[in-house]
Amino acid sequence: MDGREFTYWGADVSVTDDVAPPLRRRSFSLVAEVEIPVGGGSGVLAAYGGHFAGWSFFMRGGRPVVRHAVSQLAGDQFEVAAGAALPSGRATIRFDFNRDSAGPGSGGTVRISAGGREFAAGRIARTAWTMAGLGETFDVGRDTGDPVVEGSVPFNGVIRKLAVLPR
């Protein structure tokens, strides 16, 4: 499945693990074409897994954020957040995860950009070997089941397209 693009149109999409984009043990990019509402974007753009092991790509106070949970323990929660809010209107937000190596649990670097401009970069020290929880799904526009981030809410803007590009 390397190099295969997974494209989702709109929000309220949930796909089971067997047909979800492969985010485990690899580098990938996630590109969201959205409309950010006046007052700022908030809520989940995409999520996979849960707080026991999973990824969440979301907006908080208008700022794009990535959280990866290796487990539910505080020391196993890694987050990279943009320092500035994105303006309202149409935006293309890109999350790139570049894995350090092919080894189990290998960490990597997350970069968050929008409109071709980098807004944040940071480390994910280690990654989960598998997404936890029976019945957990890859979700667009919300985080169903056991959320990766406590208090997750659906995205308050419009998701036009979300593409996942495994590498």
> What is the residue extent of each domain of the chain?
6-166
Q: Helix or strand or coil: residue 18?
A: helix
Q: Which CATH number fits domain 6-166: 2.60.120.200, 1.10.340.70, 3.20.190.10, 2.60.120.10?
A: 2.60.120.200
Are 151 and 56 in contact by the 8 Å Cβ rule? The answer is no
Pick from 2-16, 54-68, 122-136: least confident: 122-136
Rounded to an integer, what distance in angstroms lies between the CA atom of residue 164 and that of residue 95?
Answer: 9
- Find residue 53's DSSP bridge partners: 50
Q: Which of 127, 128, 161, 151 is nearest to 45 (CA)?
A: 161
Rounded to an integer, what distance in angstroms lies between the CA atom of residue 101 and that of residue 106?
Answer: 6
Task: With cut-offs at 50, 70 and 90, classify the pLDDT of residue 1.
Answer: very low
pTM of the predicted structure, to 2 decimals: 0.94
Task: With cut-offs at 50, 70 and 90, classify the pLDDT of residue 134.
Answer: low
For 17-37, write each residue's pLDDT tens digit.
889 998 888 899 999 999 999
What mean pLDDT is reported for the chain? 92
Rounded to the nearest 10°, the torsion over CA 58, 13, 125, 167 is: -120
Sign (positive/negative) of CA torsion 2, 80, 13, 33?
negative
Q: Residue 133: what pLDDT?
A: 63
Residues 40-59: what's their mean pLDDT?
Answer: 95
